[in-house]
Amino acid sequence: MAYYNRVILVGNLTRDPQLSFLPSGTPVCEFGLAINRRWRGSGGEPREETCFIDCRCYGKQAETFNQHMSKGQCVLVEGRLQYDTWEGQDGQKRSKHRVFVQAFQFLSAPRGAGAAGRPEPTASPSQGDIGPAESAPHRQPPSPPASPPPATPEGEDIPF
């Protein structure tokens, strides 16, 4: 049986990213995403719900994310879902799902960019202490032509 664990989310940061370091020195960035869902209820009234997701990335990605993102900015993240369990200070067992980010794309202008600021391209996956990360295909928009195509002389037949 084959297994597949891939998550793609677009949302807004619920708080500023927090950068810390593992004992090995690997950077770790944790942040929260809010993903909104809007629909119309049975009576036609607008409804909305928000899903809050905790995310974590490692290595160079963590440093880049922490440097350029802040609360409220929009980002696309791609990664895998992991279920964490621990025991709280009160002795109760706690658990939650978390996304381990393998690639991301800024959808808002990065922190500190002016009105003409452009989002940075997708950060490449890192290979920190969490094992090899899968690479995601990255698409760049086509560049505009350097000069306009030559004009066709009047009276010539165009073969299309």
Q: What domains lie within the chain, and their CATH numbers?
A: 7-106 (2.40.50.140)
Amino acid identity of residue 12, one-letter, is N
pLDDT of residue 15: 96
pLDDT of residue 109: 73
Q: Which helix (H) or strand (E) holds 129?
A: none
pLDDT of residue 116: 42
Q: Are 55 and 33 in contact (CB under 8 A)?
A: yes
pLDDT of residue 137: 40
Kindly report the pTM of this predicted structure. Answer: 0.66
Q: Are 63 and 19 in contact (CB under 8 A)?
A: yes
Q: Pairing between strand 93-106 and 46-58?
A: parallel
Q: Which mean pLDDT values do the consecutive 10-residue runs of the chain (160 residues) have?
A: 95 96 96 95 92 96 95 96 93 94 88 49 42 40 49 53
